[in-house]
Structure 1
Amino acid sequence: MLVADLVKLLEQRYPPEWAEDWDRVGFVLGEPDATVSRVLLAVDCAPAVVDEAAQVGAEFVFTHHPLLLRGVSSVAPTTYKGRIVHRMIRSGMALYTAHTNGDVARPGVSDALAARIGLEEVHPLRPDPKAPERGHGRIGRLPEPMTLTHFARHVAHQLPKSAASVRLAGDPTARVERVAVSGGAGDAFLADAARAGVDAYLTADLRHHPAQEHLASGGPALVDVTHWASERPWLDDVAAFLRTEAGVQTIVSDVDTSPWVLWEDNDS
Protein backbone atom coordinates (compact mmCIF):
# COMPACT_ATOMS: atom_id res chain seq x y z
CA MET A 1 0.00 0.00 0.00
CA LEU A 2 1.14 3.54 -0.72
CA VAL A 3 1.51 6.11 2.04
CA ALA A 4 -1.17 8.23 0.35
CA ASP A 5 -3.62 5.30 0.33
CA LEU A 6 -2.97 4.57 4.01
CA VAL A 7 -3.53 8.25 4.86
CA LYS A 8 -6.83 8.18 2.96
CA LEU A 9 -7.95 5.06 4.83
CA LEU A 10 -7.10 6.57 8.22
CA GLU A 11 -8.87 9.82 7.41
CA GLN A 12 -12.02 7.92 6.49
CA ARG A 13 -12.01 6.31 9.94
CA TYR A 14 -10.79 9.39 11.86
CA PRO A 15 -11.81 12.44 9.80
CA PRO A 16 -9.56 15.44 10.52
CA GLU A 17 -12.64 17.68 10.77
CA TRP A 18 -13.61 15.84 13.97
CA ALA A 19 -10.51 17.25 15.68
CA GLU A 20 -10.66 20.27 17.98
CA ASP A 21 -9.80 23.62 16.38
CA TRP A 22 -6.56 23.87 18.36
CA ASP A 23 -5.41 20.39 17.38
CA ARG A 24 -2.95 19.42 14.64
CA VAL A 25 -3.73 16.05 13.11
CA GLY A 26 -3.18 14.16 9.89
CA PHE A 27 -0.25 13.53 7.56
CA VAL A 28 2.91 15.09 9.04
CA LEU A 29 5.83 13.91 6.92
CA GLY A 30 6.86 11.29 4.37
CA GLU A 31 6.57 10.64 0.64
CA PRO A 32 2.95 10.03 -0.47
CA ASP A 33 4.02 7.59 -3.21
CA ALA A 34 6.30 5.51 -0.96
CA THR A 35 5.18 1.96 -0.24
CA VAL A 36 4.21 0.71 3.22
CA SER A 37 4.30 -2.87 4.44
CA ARG A 38 4.89 -2.31 8.17
CA VAL A 39 3.37 0.26 10.56
CA LEU A 40 4.48 1.09 14.09
CA LEU A 41 1.80 2.56 16.36
CA ALA A 42 2.65 4.58 19.47
CA VAL A 43 1.17 7.14 21.82
CA ASP A 44 4.00 9.65 21.27
CA CYS A 45 6.53 10.31 18.53
CA ALA A 46 9.47 10.23 20.94
CA PRO A 47 13.11 9.39 20.14
CA ALA A 48 12.79 5.91 21.69
CA VAL A 49 9.74 5.24 19.51
CA VAL A 50 11.60 6.29 16.35
CA ASP A 51 14.46 4.00 17.43
CA GLU A 52 11.98 1.14 17.70
CA ALA A 53 10.49 1.95 14.29
CA ALA A 54 13.96 1.76 12.76
CA GLN A 55 14.70 -1.53 14.52
CA VAL A 56 11.52 -3.22 13.26
CA GLY A 57 11.75 -1.72 9.78
CA ALA A 58 8.54 0.31 9.91
CA GLU A 59 8.02 2.67 6.97
CA PHE A 60 5.01 4.37 8.57
CA VAL A 61 4.57 5.60 12.16
CA PHE A 62 1.09 6.26 13.55
CA THR A 63 0.89 8.27 16.77
CA HIS A 64 -1.91 9.59 18.94
CA HIS A 65 -0.13 12.73 20.14
CA PRO A 66 1.00 15.29 17.55
CA LEU A 67 4.73 15.88 17.29
CA LEU A 68 4.13 19.43 16.03
CA LEU A 69 1.12 20.48 18.10
CA ARG A 70 2.57 23.89 18.92
CA GLY A 71 4.13 26.12 16.30
CA VAL A 72 7.86 25.95 15.74
CA SER A 73 10.09 28.34 13.81
CA SER A 74 12.74 25.72 13.09
CA VAL A 75 13.16 21.98 12.62
CA ALA A 76 16.94 22.24 12.73
CA PRO A 77 18.59 18.99 13.84
CA THR A 78 19.92 20.85 16.89
CA THR A 79 16.36 20.97 18.33
CA TYR A 80 14.44 18.13 19.99
CA LYS A 81 11.66 17.97 17.39
CA GLY A 82 14.04 18.75 14.54
CA ARG A 83 16.20 15.74 15.38
CA ILE A 84 13.14 13.50 15.21
CA VAL A 85 11.98 14.97 11.90
CA HIS A 86 15.44 14.65 10.31
CA ARG A 87 15.88 11.09 11.56
CA MET A 88 12.52 10.00 10.18
CA ILE A 89 13.12 11.63 6.80
CA ARG A 90 16.59 10.08 6.51
CA SER A 91 15.09 6.69 7.40
CA GLY A 92 12.32 7.02 4.81
CA MET A 93 9.55 6.97 7.42
CA ALA A 94 6.15 8.63 7.17
CA LEU A 95 4.35 10.06 10.21
CA TYR A 96 0.61 10.34 10.74
CA THR A 97 -1.34 11.56 13.80
CA ALA A 98 -4.94 11.10 14.97
CA HIS A 99 -5.50 12.93 18.26
CA THR A 100 -8.83 14.50 19.33
CA ASN A 101 -10.45 13.05 16.21
CA GLY A 102 -9.45 9.66 17.62
CA ASP A 103 -10.81 10.65 21.03
CA VAL A 104 -14.34 11.32 19.78
CA ALA A 105 -14.49 8.52 17.22
CA ARG A 106 -16.52 5.41 17.91
CA PRO A 107 -14.72 3.18 18.36
CA GLY A 108 -12.14 5.56 19.77
CA VAL A 109 -9.69 6.08 22.62
CA SER A 110 -12.22 5.93 25.45
CA ASP A 111 -14.00 2.91 23.95
CA ALA A 112 -10.74 0.99 24.15
CA LEU A 113 -10.21 2.13 27.74
CA ALA A 114 -13.76 1.11 28.69
CA ALA A 115 -13.34 -2.29 27.04
CA ARG A 116 -10.02 -2.91 28.78
CA ILE A 117 -11.64 -2.58 32.21
CA GLY A 118 -14.70 -4.58 31.17
CA LEU A 119 -17.44 -1.93 31.02
CA GLU A 120 -20.76 -2.89 29.46
CA GLU A 121 -23.62 -0.80 27.97
CA VAL A 122 -21.11 1.85 26.89
CA HIS A 123 -22.16 5.27 25.57
CA PRO A 124 -20.53 8.74 25.31
CA LEU A 125 -19.95 10.82 28.43
CA ARG A 126 -20.20 14.09 26.48
CA PRO A 127 -21.98 13.31 23.19
CA ASP A 128 -21.28 15.32 20.07
CA PRO A 129 -24.37 17.54 19.54
CA LYS A 130 -24.37 16.76 15.81
CA ALA A 131 -23.60 13.05 16.14
CA PRO A 132 -24.58 11.78 19.63
CA GLU A 133 -23.32 8.28 18.90
CA ARG A 134 -19.77 9.63 19.25
CA GLY A 135 -18.15 12.19 21.55
CA HIS A 136 -15.73 12.57 24.46
CA GLY A 137 -15.40 9.96 27.18
CA ARG A 138 -17.58 6.94 27.84
CA ILE A 139 -19.98 5.73 30.54
CA GLY A 140 -20.56 2.06 31.24
CA ARG A 141 -21.40 -0.50 33.88
CA LEU A 142 -19.15 -3.08 35.52
CA PRO A 143 -20.42 -6.68 35.30
CA GLU A 144 -20.29 -6.87 39.11
CA PRO A 145 -20.11 -4.04 41.68
CA MET A 146 -16.90 -3.70 43.67
CA THR A 147 -15.39 -1.35 46.23
CA LEU A 148 -13.39 1.65 45.09
CA THR A 149 -10.20 0.03 46.36
CA HIS A 150 -10.97 -3.17 44.44
CA PHE A 151 -11.80 -1.13 41.34
CA ALA A 152 -8.48 0.74 41.51
CA ARG A 153 -6.64 -2.58 41.78
CA HIS A 154 -8.67 -3.94 38.88
CA VAL A 155 -7.67 -0.93 36.76
CA ALA A 156 -4.02 -1.36 37.71
CA HIS A 157 -4.11 -5.02 36.61
CA GLN A 158 -6.00 -4.43 33.36
CA LEU A 159 -4.17 -1.40 31.97
CA PRO A 160 -0.67 -1.53 30.46
CA LYS A 161 2.03 -1.43 33.09
CA SER A 162 3.41 2.04 33.65
CA ALA A 163 6.11 3.28 35.99
CA ALA A 164 3.79 5.49 38.03
CA SER A 165 1.05 4.01 40.18
CA VAL A 166 -2.75 4.30 40.11
CA ARG A 167 -4.18 6.95 42.45
CA LEU A 168 -7.68 7.02 43.91
CA ALA A 169 -9.69 9.74 45.66
CA GLY A 170 -12.87 9.07 47.61
CA ASP A 171 -14.14 6.57 50.14
CA PRO A 172 -12.10 3.36 49.59
CA THR A 173 -15.08 1.25 50.69
CA ALA A 174 -17.61 2.98 48.40
CA ARG A 175 -19.56 0.79 45.97
CA VAL A 176 -18.58 1.18 42.31
CA GLU A 177 -20.75 -0.07 39.45
CA ARG A 178 -21.42 2.76 36.98
CA VAL A 179 -18.15 4.21 35.72
CA ALA A 180 -17.16 7.10 33.46
CA VAL A 181 -13.83 6.98 31.63
CA SER A 182 -11.84 9.39 29.50
CA GLY A 183 -8.51 8.54 27.93
CA GLY A 184 -5.89 11.23 28.41
CA ALA A 185 -6.20 14.38 30.51
CA GLY A 186 -9.74 14.36 31.90
CA ASP A 187 -10.13 17.53 33.99
CA ALA A 188 -12.47 19.01 31.41
CA PHE A 189 -15.05 16.28 31.96
CA LEU A 190 -15.27 16.27 35.77
CA ALA A 191 -18.60 18.12 35.67
CA ASP A 192 -19.94 15.71 33.04
CA ALA A 193 -19.07 12.76 35.26
CA ALA A 194 -20.79 14.43 38.21
CA ARG A 195 -23.94 15.18 36.19
CA ALA A 196 -24.04 11.59 34.93
CA GLY A 197 -24.31 10.31 38.49
CA VAL A 198 -21.63 7.64 38.06
CA ASP A 199 -19.90 6.01 41.02
CA ALA A 200 -16.36 6.62 39.78
CA TYR A 201 -14.50 8.49 37.05
CA LEU A 202 -11.33 7.00 35.56
CA THR A 203 -8.98 9.30 33.66
CA ALA A 204 -5.45 10.75 33.69
CA ASP A 205 -3.58 13.91 34.67
CA LEU A 206 -6.03 15.10 37.32
CA ARG A 207 -4.85 18.24 39.10
CA HIS A 208 -4.97 19.01 42.81
CA HIS A 209 -7.51 21.84 42.97
CA PRO A 210 -10.04 20.60 40.37
CA ALA A 211 -10.04 17.16 41.99
CA GLN A 212 -10.37 18.65 45.48
CA GLU A 213 -13.29 20.88 44.50
CA HIS A 214 -14.97 18.05 42.58
CA LEU A 215 -14.99 15.78 45.64
CA ALA A 216 -16.05 18.59 47.98
CA SER A 217 -19.05 19.22 45.71
CA GLY A 218 -20.17 15.59 46.02
CA GLY A 219 -18.76 14.37 42.72
CA PRO A 220 -17.99 10.70 42.07
CA ALA A 221 -14.83 9.00 43.26
CA LEU A 222 -11.73 9.48 41.10
CA VAL A 223 -9.20 7.00 39.77
CA ASP A 224 -6.19 8.60 38.12
CA VAL A 225 -3.69 6.73 35.92
CA THR A 226 -0.84 7.86 33.68
CA HIS A 227 -1.72 9.57 30.43
CA TRP A 228 0.19 6.93 28.46
CA ALA A 229 -1.52 3.97 30.14
CA SER A 230 -4.99 5.42 29.53
CA GLU A 231 -4.43 5.81 25.78
CA ARG A 232 -2.20 2.85 24.93
CA PRO A 233 -5.14 0.33 24.65
CA TRP A 234 -6.58 2.22 21.66
CA LEU A 235 -3.51 1.45 19.57
CA ASP A 236 -4.46 -2.23 19.52
CA ASP A 237 -7.79 -1.30 17.92
CA VAL A 238 -6.13 0.89 15.28
CA ALA A 239 -3.58 -1.85 14.57
CA ALA A 240 -6.34 -4.43 14.04
CA PHE A 241 -8.12 -2.05 11.68
CA LEU A 242 -4.98 -1.49 9.59
CA ARG A 243 -4.20 -5.20 9.39
CA THR A 244 -7.73 -5.96 8.19
CA GLU A 245 -8.34 -3.01 5.87
CA ALA A 246 -4.84 -2.24 4.59
CA GLY A 247 -3.20 -5.65 4.77
CA VAL A 248 -0.10 -4.22 6.44
CA GLN A 249 1.92 -5.65 9.29
CA THR A 250 1.47 -3.72 12.54
CA ILE A 251 3.63 -3.40 15.64
CA VAL A 252 2.23 -1.61 18.70
CA SER A 253 4.91 0.10 20.73
CA ASP A 254 5.00 -0.54 24.47
CA VAL A 255 7.61 2.16 25.05
CA ASP A 256 6.23 3.97 28.12
CA THR A 257 6.59 7.64 27.20
CA SER A 258 5.23 8.90 30.50
CA PRO A 259 7.71 11.35 32.06
CA TRP A 260 6.83 10.16 35.58
CA VAL A 261 8.54 7.33 37.42
CA LEU A 262 7.80 5.71 40.76
CA TRP A 263 10.03 7.14 43.50
CA GLU A 264 11.06 4.77 46.27
CA ASP A 265 12.83 5.78 49.48
CA ASN A 266 15.39 3.02 49.80
CA ASP A 267 16.83 4.56 52.98
CA SER A 268 13.63 4.18 55.01
Structure 2
Amino acid sequence: MRVADLVELLEQRYPPAWAEDWDRVGFVLGEPDAEVGKVLLAVDCDPVVVDEAEAAGAQLVFTHHPLLLRGVSSVAPTTYKGRIVHRLIRAGIALYTAHTNGDVANPGVSDALAETLGLVDVRPLRPDPRAPERGHGRIGRLAEPMTLAAFAAHAADRLPRTAAGVRAAGDPDALVTTVAVSGGAGDVFLADATRAGVDAYLTADLRHHPAQEHLADGGPALVDVTHWASERPWLDGVAAFLRAEAGVQTIVSDVDTSPWVLLEGKHS
Protein backbone atom coordinates (compact mmCIF):
# COMPACT_ATOMS: atom_id res chain seq x y z
CA MET A 1 0.00 0.00 0.00
CA ARG A 2 1.41 3.37 -1.05
CA VAL A 3 0.78 6.60 0.84
CA ALA A 4 -1.27 7.84 -2.14
CA ASP A 5 -3.43 4.69 -2.04
CA LEU A 6 -4.06 5.13 1.67
CA VAL A 7 -4.97 8.79 1.16
CA GLU A 8 -7.48 7.82 -1.53
CA LEU A 9 -9.04 5.20 0.73
CA LEU A 10 -9.33 7.61 3.67
CA GLU A 11 -10.84 10.33 1.50
CA GLN A 12 -13.52 7.94 0.29
CA ARG A 13 -14.52 7.35 3.92
CA TYR A 14 -13.95 10.94 5.13
CA PRO A 15 -14.32 13.22 2.08
CA PRO A 16 -12.52 16.55 2.63
CA ALA A 17 -15.62 18.29 1.23
CA TRP A 18 -17.45 17.33 4.43
CA ALA A 19 -15.07 19.45 6.52
CA GLU A 20 -16.01 22.92 7.75
CA ASP A 21 -14.75 25.84 5.64
CA TRP A 22 -12.29 26.89 8.35
CA ASP A 23 -10.85 23.41 8.75
CA ARG A 24 -7.62 22.04 7.25
CA VAL A 25 -7.82 18.32 6.59
CA GLY A 26 -6.29 15.69 4.34
CA PHE A 27 -2.76 14.82 3.24
CA VAL A 28 -0.30 17.05 5.12
CA LEU A 29 3.16 15.73 4.28
CA GLY A 30 5.02 12.68 3.01
CA GLU A 31 5.98 11.04 -0.26
CA PRO A 32 2.90 9.81 -2.17
CA ASP A 33 4.81 6.82 -3.62
CA ALA A 34 6.31 5.71 -0.30
CA GLU A 35 5.16 2.32 0.96
CA VAL A 36 3.07 2.02 4.12
CA GLY A 37 2.93 -1.12 6.22
CA LYS A 38 2.17 0.39 9.61
CA VAL A 39 -0.01 3.35 10.65
CA LEU A 40 -0.10 5.07 14.04
CA LEU A 41 -3.38 6.80 14.92
CA ALA A 42 -3.62 9.60 17.49
CA VAL A 43 -5.83 12.52 18.45
CA ASP A 44 -2.97 15.03 18.12
CA CYS A 45 0.37 15.13 16.34
CA ASP A 46 2.63 16.24 19.18
CA PRO A 47 6.26 15.39 20.00
CA VAL A 48 5.35 12.41 22.20
CA VAL A 49 3.18 10.94 19.43
CA VAL A 50 6.05 11.39 16.97
CA ASP A 51 8.32 9.57 19.46
CA GLU A 52 5.81 6.73 19.51
CA ALA A 53 5.55 6.60 15.71
CA GLU A 54 9.32 6.48 15.30
CA ALA A 55 9.73 3.79 17.95
CA ALA A 56 7.00 1.67 16.36
CA GLY A 57 8.39 2.01 12.83
CA ALA A 58 5.19 3.58 11.48
CA GLN A 59 5.30 5.05 7.98
CA LEU A 60 2.17 7.19 8.40
CA VAL A 61 0.55 9.04 11.29
CA PHE A 62 -3.21 9.59 11.15
CA THR A 63 -4.52 12.30 13.46
CA HIS A 64 -7.86 13.86 14.25
CA HIS A 65 -6.59 17.35 15.00
CA PRO A 66 -4.76 19.23 12.24
CA LEU A 67 -1.14 20.11 12.99
CA LEU A 68 -1.37 23.13 10.67
CA LEU A 69 -4.90 24.38 11.34
CA ARG A 70 -3.94 28.05 11.33
CA GLY A 71 -1.75 29.61 8.68
CA VAL A 72 1.99 29.67 9.30
CA SER A 73 4.69 31.61 7.46
CA SER A 74 7.47 29.23 8.44
CA VAL A 75 8.08 25.61 9.39
CA ALA A 76 11.59 26.36 10.59
CA PRO A 77 12.86 23.86 13.18
CA THR A 78 13.06 26.73 15.68
CA THR A 79 9.24 26.64 15.94
CA TYR A 80 7.09 24.05 17.72
CA LYS A 81 5.24 22.92 14.60
CA GLY A 82 8.31 23.24 12.42
CA ARG A 83 10.23 20.82 14.66
CA ILE A 84 7.45 18.26 14.29
CA VAL A 85 7.37 18.68 10.50
CA HIS A 86 11.15 18.26 10.25
CA ARG A 87 11.13 15.19 12.49
CA LEU A 88 8.43 13.51 10.42
CA ILE A 89 10.22 14.25 7.15
CA ARG A 90 13.58 13.02 8.47
CA ALA A 91 11.92 9.81 9.70
CA GLY A 92 10.08 9.27 6.41
CA ILE A 93 6.71 9.40 8.15
CA ALA A 94 3.68 10.79 6.28
CA LEU A 95 0.91 12.73 8.06
CA TYR A 96 -2.81 12.67 7.32
CA THR A 97 -5.68 14.41 9.15
CA ALA A 98 -9.45 13.91 9.27
CA HIS A 99 -11.07 16.48 11.58
CA THR A 100 -14.58 17.91 11.13
CA ASN A 101 -15.10 15.55 8.18
CA GLY A 102 -14.53 12.76 10.71
CA ASP A 103 -16.93 14.43 13.15
CA VAL A 104 -19.87 14.40 10.74
CA ALA A 105 -19.17 11.02 9.15
CA ASN A 106 -21.33 8.00 9.90
CA PRO A 107 -19.70 6.27 11.67
CA GLY A 108 -17.81 9.24 13.04
CA VAL A 109 -16.33 10.65 16.23
CA SER A 110 -19.64 11.02 18.09
CA ASP A 111 -20.84 7.56 17.00
CA ALA A 112 -17.80 6.06 18.72
CA LEU A 113 -18.45 8.18 21.81
CA ALA A 114 -22.11 7.09 21.92
CA GLU A 115 -21.14 3.44 21.47
CA THR A 116 -18.55 3.65 24.26
CA LEU A 117 -21.24 4.98 26.59
CA GLY A 118 -23.62 2.19 25.57
CA LEU A 119 -26.22 4.39 23.88
CA VAL A 120 -28.77 2.76 21.57
CA ASP A 121 -31.14 4.10 18.87
CA VAL A 122 -28.47 6.63 17.90
CA ARG A 123 -29.14 9.48 15.46
CA PRO A 124 -27.44 12.84 14.65
CA LEU A 125 -27.91 15.73 17.05
CA ARG A 126 -27.58 18.30 14.25
CA PRO A 127 -28.23 16.41 10.99
CA ASP A 128 -26.65 17.48 7.72
CA PRO A 129 -29.57 18.88 5.65
CA ARG A 130 -28.23 17.14 2.51
CA ALA A 131 -27.61 13.80 4.20
CA PRO A 132 -29.58 13.44 7.45
CA GLU A 133 -27.81 10.20 8.39
CA ARG A 134 -24.67 12.31 8.91
CA GLY A 135 -24.11 15.38 11.02
CA HIS A 136 -22.68 16.79 14.23
CA GLY A 137 -23.16 15.05 17.57
CA ARG A 138 -25.42 12.13 18.34
CA ILE A 139 -28.56 11.46 20.40
CA GLY A 140 -29.21 8.08 21.97
CA ARG A 141 -30.88 6.24 24.79
CA LEU A 142 -29.39 4.41 27.74
CA ALA A 143 -30.41 0.75 27.93
CA GLU A 144 -31.38 1.37 31.56
CA PRO A 145 -32.13 4.79 33.09
CA MET A 146 -29.75 6.01 35.78
CA THR A 147 -29.31 9.12 37.91
CA LEU A 148 -27.09 11.92 36.68
CA ALA A 149 -24.56 11.02 39.38
CA ALA A 150 -24.54 7.41 38.21
CA PHE A 151 -24.27 8.46 34.57
CA ALA A 152 -21.25 10.67 35.32
CA ALA A 153 -19.62 7.73 37.12
CA HIS A 154 -20.54 5.49 34.16
CA ALA A 155 -18.87 7.93 31.75
CA ALA A 156 -15.75 8.06 33.92
CA ASP A 157 -15.62 4.27 33.92
CA ARG A 158 -16.19 3.79 30.18
CA LEU A 159 -14.10 6.62 28.72
CA PRO A 160 -10.29 6.77 28.77
CA ARG A 161 -9.06 7.95 32.14
CA THR A 162 -7.59 11.43 32.43
CA ALA A 163 -6.28 13.57 35.27
CA ALA A 164 -9.15 16.03 34.85
CA GLY A 165 -11.79 13.29 35.13
CA VAL A 166 -15.50 13.93 34.55
CA ARG A 167 -17.64 16.85 35.77
CA ALA A 168 -21.43 17.04 35.91
CA ALA A 169 -23.84 19.97 36.29
CA GLY A 170 -27.48 19.57 37.27
CA ASP A 171 -29.48 17.66 39.89
CA PRO A 172 -27.36 14.59 40.82
CA ASP A 173 -30.55 12.61 41.52
CA ALA A 174 -32.31 13.49 38.25
CA LEU A 175 -33.07 10.48 36.07
CA VAL A 176 -31.19 10.22 32.77
CA THR A 177 -32.64 8.15 29.94
CA THR A 178 -31.84 10.10 26.75
CA VAL A 179 -28.40 11.54 26.13
CA ALA A 180 -26.84 13.82 23.53
CA VAL A 181 -23.10 13.59 22.94
CA SER A 182 -20.55 15.51 20.91
CA GLY A 183 -16.87 14.67 20.70
CA GLY A 184 -14.57 17.64 21.23
CA ALA A 185 -15.55 21.16 22.25
CA GLY A 186 -19.34 21.02 22.08
CA ASP A 187 -20.81 24.15 23.64
CA VAL A 188 -21.87 25.27 20.14
CA PHE A 189 -24.49 22.49 20.30
CA LEU A 190 -26.00 23.39 23.70
CA ALA A 191 -29.14 24.79 22.06
CA ASP A 192 -29.47 21.68 19.89
CA ALA A 193 -29.37 19.48 23.00
CA THR A 194 -32.08 21.63 24.60
CA ARG A 195 -34.31 21.46 21.50
CA ALA A 196 -33.84 17.70 21.36
CA GLY A 197 -35.33 17.39 24.87
CA VAL A 198 -32.63 15.02 26.13
CA ASP A 199 -32.00 14.47 29.81
CA ALA A 200 -28.23 15.05 29.64
CA TYR A 201 -25.62 16.34 27.22
CA LEU A 202 -22.06 14.98 27.36
CA THR A 203 -19.26 16.84 25.60
CA ALA A 204 -15.88 18.46 26.27
CA ASP A 205 -14.42 21.88 27.09
CA LEU A 206 -17.59 23.40 28.52
CA ARG A 207 -17.10 26.99 29.69
CA HIS A 208 -18.44 28.63 32.85
CA HIS A 209 -20.88 31.20 31.47
CA PRO A 210 -22.39 29.20 28.59
CA ALA A 211 -22.94 26.24 30.95
CA GLN A 212 -24.39 28.46 33.65
CA GLU A 213 -26.81 30.18 31.28
CA HIS A 214 -27.78 26.89 29.63
CA LEU A 215 -28.84 25.41 32.97
CA ALA A 216 -30.60 28.60 34.07
CA ASP A 217 -32.67 28.46 30.86
CA GLY A 218 -33.85 24.94 31.66
CA GLY A 219 -31.43 23.02 29.44
CA PRO A 220 -30.52 19.39 30.08
CA ALA A 221 -27.93 18.35 32.64
CA LEU A 222 -24.33 18.61 31.50
CA VAL A 223 -21.46 16.15 31.68
CA ASP A 224 -18.06 17.57 30.80
CA VAL A 225 -15.11 15.33 29.88
CA THR A 226 -11.70 16.13 28.43
CA HIS A 227 -11.32 16.85 24.74
CA TRP A 228 -8.89 13.95 24.27
CA ALA A 229 -11.07 11.41 26.12
CA SER A 230 -14.13 12.30 24.03
CA GLU A 231 -12.33 11.73 20.72
CA ARG A 232 -9.93 8.87 21.48
CA PRO A 233 -12.60 6.10 21.07
CA TRP A 234 -13.09 6.98 17.37
CA LEU A 235 -9.54 5.96 16.51
CA ASP A 236 -10.25 2.28 17.17
CA GLY A 237 -12.86 2.22 14.40
CA VAL A 238 -10.55 4.02 11.96
CA ALA A 239 -7.80 1.53 12.79
CA ALA A 240 -10.14 -1.42 12.16
CA PHE A 241 -11.13 0.12 8.81
CA LEU A 242 -7.50 0.49 7.73
CA ARG A 243 -6.64 -3.07 8.72
CA ALA A 244 -9.62 -4.47 6.83
CA GLU A 245 -9.46 -2.30 3.71
CA ALA A 246 -5.75 -1.52 3.37
CA GLY A 247 -4.18 -4.56 5.01
CA VAL A 248 -1.83 -2.41 7.09
CA GLN A 249 -0.81 -2.84 10.71
CA THR A 250 -2.23 -0.23 13.06
CA ILE A 251 -1.29 1.16 16.44
CA VAL A 252 -3.70 3.41 18.33
CA SER A 253 -1.89 5.85 20.59
CA ASP A 254 -3.08 6.03 24.18
CA VAL A 255 -0.84 8.98 24.92
CA ASP A 256 -3.10 11.50 26.67
CA THR A 257 -2.39 14.74 24.82
CA SER A 258 -4.53 16.79 27.23
CA PRO A 259 -2.48 19.64 28.72
CA TRP A 260 -4.01 19.00 32.18
CA VAL A 261 -2.00 16.49 34.25
CA LEU A 262 -3.05 17.21 37.85
CA LEU A 263 -6.37 17.50 39.70
CA GLU A 264 -5.89 18.82 43.21
CA GLY A 265 -8.05 20.18 46.02
CA LYS A 266 -11.40 19.21 47.53
CA HIS A 267 -14.04 17.75 45.29
CA SER A 268 -17.09 15.57 45.82
Normalising by structure 1, we get a TM-score of 0.98
**1:33 and 2:33 correspond:** yes
The 8 Å contact of residues 138 and 180 in structure 1, kept in 2 or not, is answered as yes
Q: Which amino acid aligns with 1:103?
A: D
Q: In the alignment, what sits opposite 1:259?
A: 259
1:189, distance to aligned residue in structure 2 (A): 0.2
CA distance in 2, matches of 1:33, 1:265: 53
1:161, distance to aligned residue in structure 2 (A): 1.1
Q: In the alignment, what sits opposite 2:97?
A: 97
CA distance in 1, matches of 2:190, 2:58: 39
CA distance in 2, matches of 1:177, 1:36: 44
Note the 1:107-126 alignment, pairs <5 A: 107-126=107-126
1:60, distance to aligned residue in structure 2 (A): 0.3
The 8 Å contact of residues 165 and 262 in structure 1, kept in 2 or not, is answered as no
CA distance in 2, matches of 1:99, 1:134: 14
Q: Which amino acid aligns with 2:170?
A: G
1:265, distance to aligned residue in structure 2 (A): 4.7
CA gap 1:265/1:188 in 2 versus in 1, 3 angstroms: closer
Number of residues of Structure 1 aligned to a counterpart in Structure 2: 266
Structure 1 unaligned runs (5+)?
none
Q: In the alignment, what sits opposite 1:191?
A: 191
CA distance in 1, matches of 2:263, 2:41: 29
CA distance in 1, matches of 2:99, 2:223: 23
Normalising by structure 2, we get a TM-score of 0.98
Q: In the alignment, what sits opposite 2:223?
A: 223
Note the 1:1-268 alignment, pairs <5 A: 1-265=1-265
Runs of 4+ in 1 over 6 A off after TM superposition: none
1:165, distance to aligned residue in structure 2 (A): 1.4
**SS state of the match for residue 124, structure 1?**
strand
Cα-to-partner distance string for 1:238-259 (whole Å, 9 max, x where unaligned): 0000000000000000000001
Structure 2 unaligned runs (5+)?
none
Please provide the CA RMSD for this pair: 0.8
Cα-to-partner distance string for 1:117-155 (whole Å, 9 max, x where unaligned): 000000000000000000000000000000000000000
Q: Which amino acid aligns with 1:127?
A: P
The 8 Å contact of residues 163 and 263 in structure 2, kept in 1 or not, is answered as no
CA distance in 2, matches of 1:239, 1:46: 19
